[in-house]
């Protein structure tokens, strides 16, 4: 079966009692034993639940892995990867990484005696420079948040392997519909399933996927021990959303491409970063490793006042955290996703006060283009165009 069919059919046969087409919700924390000698396959929802198991089976299939564990949030999934480290270990973290991952690595891993260095996923020599004898893991993501740069996943993984590092890859921005990092050399893929996988901005969740049974088991056990498990209803909602990922993602890509093209040459705009634009610096590598260019883009305006005005004056794009839902959202990274970083850390990464990040939804593309256009048109007079 191909991707869109697997999303709808893997592990989703009609239920055995009533042949319901939609998987029933098992809103139960506990499952009865027939006898002391007959332990049920699922006995307590912190450890496993039928809705969770079904979601894990589908995500594993879509990512091309064998072991998926789902969590109550993307950050819990990332924390589970760091649980594989021990006191004294060292992590390599890509400079362009989600702000929450940055916070966890900078502020919380040191409390467990785990140190880190930052590397540049576009400059492979920076990996060798950052590696120490204690280095155990490398974590990165692409397309990056919020600047939409794309690094070569296979090449970064190969370099990490040369140094014996375990590779964790955050695939939230692309989703399994557009790229499968396990096939490119990553050991563990993580997602904030809150985003494209669930796709409707109504459920928080995360997952890990691997084809290494030892890693998969260790992560599953950590989740059981710490209880970062999603509720049955959250799993049910996530699967409901995941079933339409293929066609949602087609529309996200189509709309984002049209919005990017519409504003690329606008006089108020300095640049549009979208991997689908032929003049994007990473267009060739994106084309090589992704089957579409995604629904995320960044617009850098000439003037901070214009960026802030557009953020506050769109009628269809809502000014809100998060991404990957059916509705279009606009984010101002310095005050939202990257508020954890100080100004110089943001500037080093190109997260300028003139930059807006757009999560392009599945509305009519013409309405989205008109919406941004009217917001720019009503902005304060520009001093430099």
Q: Which residue's CB is nearer to ligand PLP, number 182 or number 228? A: 228
Sign of CA dihedral 58, 62, 66, 68: negative
Share in percent of the chain as helix, strand, coil (round to 5): 40, 15, 45
Strand order in the sheet with 329-331: 269-273, 296-301, 355-359, 329-331, 318-319
Q: Closest approach of Cβ 89 to ligand PLP, in Å?
A: 21
* Distance in angstroms (rounded) separating the CA atoms of residues 141 and 162: 19
**Which is the catalytic residue, given 136, 195, 308, 357?**
195
**Dihedral (Cα; 219, 225, 228, 230), 10-degree rounding:** 90
Q: Give the gyration radius of the chain's Cα atoms.
A: 21
**Which is the catalytic residue, given 46, 251, 258, 287?**
46
* Distance in angstroms (rounded) separating the CA atoms of residues 73 and 29: 19
Q: Please name the helix (run of DSSP H) or strand (run of DSSP E) that holds residue 168, with its range, or none.
A: strand 166-170
Q: Closest approach of Cβ 170 to ligand PLP, in Å?
A: 5
Phi/psi at 227 (5° precision) = 70, 35
Let me know if 98 is a catalytic residue: yes
Let me know if 195 is a catalytic residue: yes
**Which is the catalytic residue, given 89, 96, 170, 282?**
170
Q: Which residue's CB is nearer to ligand PLP, number 95 or number 313? A: 95
Q: Closest approach of Cβ 384 to ligand PLP, in Å?
A: 32
* Distance in angstroms (rounded) separating the CA atoms of residues 64 and 62: 6
Q: Closest approach of Cβ 70 to ligand PLP, in Å?
A: 11
List interacting residues with ligand PLP (CB under 6 A). 73-75, 98, 100, 141, 145, 170, 172-173, 192, 194, 204, 206, 322
Q: Which residue's CB is nearer to ligand PLP, number 23 or number 206? A: 206
Let me know if 250 is a catalytic residue: no
Q: Which residue's CB is nearer to ligand PLP, number 197 or number 368? A: 197
Asked whether the bond before 242 is cis by omega within 30 degrees of 0, the reply is no
Are residues 179 and 153 in contact, defined by beta-carbon separation less than 8 angstroms? yes
Q: Closest approach of Cβ 144 to ligand PLP, in Å?
A: 9
Tell me which residue has its CB nearest to ligand PLP. 74
**Which is the catalytic residue, given 52, 89, 96, 98?**
98
Q: Which residue's CB is nearer to ligand PLP, number 127 or number 168? A: 168
Q: Closest approach of Cβ 340 to ligand PLP, in Å?
A: 12
Q: Which residue's CB is nearer to ligand PLP, number 145 or number 289? A: 145
Let me know if 371 is a catalytic residue: no
Within 8 A by CB and 6+ apart from 1, the residues are: 9, 10
Q: Hunting for tokens 């549009």 — which residue is that?
A: 272
Phi/psi at 360 (5° precision) = -85, 125
Q: Which positions are annotated as active-site residues?
A: 46, 98, 170, 195
């Amino acid at each position: 079966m191909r991707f869109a069919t697997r999303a709808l059919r893997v592990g989703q046969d009609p239920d055995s009692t009533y042949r319901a087409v939609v998987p029933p919700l098992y809103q139960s924390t506990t499952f009865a034993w027939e006898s002391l000698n007959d332990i049920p396959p699922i006995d307590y929802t912190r450890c496993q639940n039928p809705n969770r198991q079904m979601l894990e089976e589908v995500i594993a299939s879509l990512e091309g892995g064998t072991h998926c564990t789902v969590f109550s949030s993307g950050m819990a999934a990332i924390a589970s990867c760091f649980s594989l480290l021990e006191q004294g270990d060292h992590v390599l973290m890509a400079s362009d990484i989600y702000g929450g991952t940055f916070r966890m690595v900078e502020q919380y891993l040191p409390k467990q005696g785990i140190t880190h260095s930052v590397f540049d996923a576009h400059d492979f020599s920076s990996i060798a420079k950052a590696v120490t004898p204690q280095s155990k893991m490398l974590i990165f993501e692409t397309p990056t948040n919020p600047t939409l740069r794309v690094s070569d996943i296979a090449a970064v993984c190969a370099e990490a392997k040369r140094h014996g590092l375990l590779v964790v890859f955050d695939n939230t921005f692309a989703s399994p519909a557009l790229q499968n990092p396990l096939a490119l050399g990553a050991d563990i893929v993580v997602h904030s399933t809150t985003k494209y996988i669930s796709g409707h901005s109504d459920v928080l969740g995360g997952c890990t996927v691997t084809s290494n049974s030892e890693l998969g088991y260790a992560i599953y056990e950590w989740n059981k021990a710490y209880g970062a498990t999603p509720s049955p209803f959250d799993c049910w909602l996530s699967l409901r959303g995941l079933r339409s990922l293929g066609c949602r993602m087609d529309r996200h890509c189509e709309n984002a491409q049209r919005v990017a093209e519409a504003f690329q040459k606008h006089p108020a705009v300095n640049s549009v970063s979208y991997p689908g634009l032929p003049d994007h610096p990473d267009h060739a590598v994106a084309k090589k490793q992704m089957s579409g260019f995604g629904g995320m883009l960044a617009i850098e305006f000439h003037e901070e006042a214009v960026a802030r005005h557009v953020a506050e004056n769109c009628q269809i794009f809502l000014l809100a955290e998060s991404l990957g839902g059916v509705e279009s959202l606009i984010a101002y990274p310095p005050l939202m996703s990257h508020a954890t970083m100080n100004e110089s850390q943001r500037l080093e990464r190109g997260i300028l006060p003139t930059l807006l990040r757009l999560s392009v939804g599945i509305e009519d593309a013409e309405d989205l283009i008109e919406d941004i256009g009217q917001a720019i048109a009503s902005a304060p007079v520009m001093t430099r165009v």
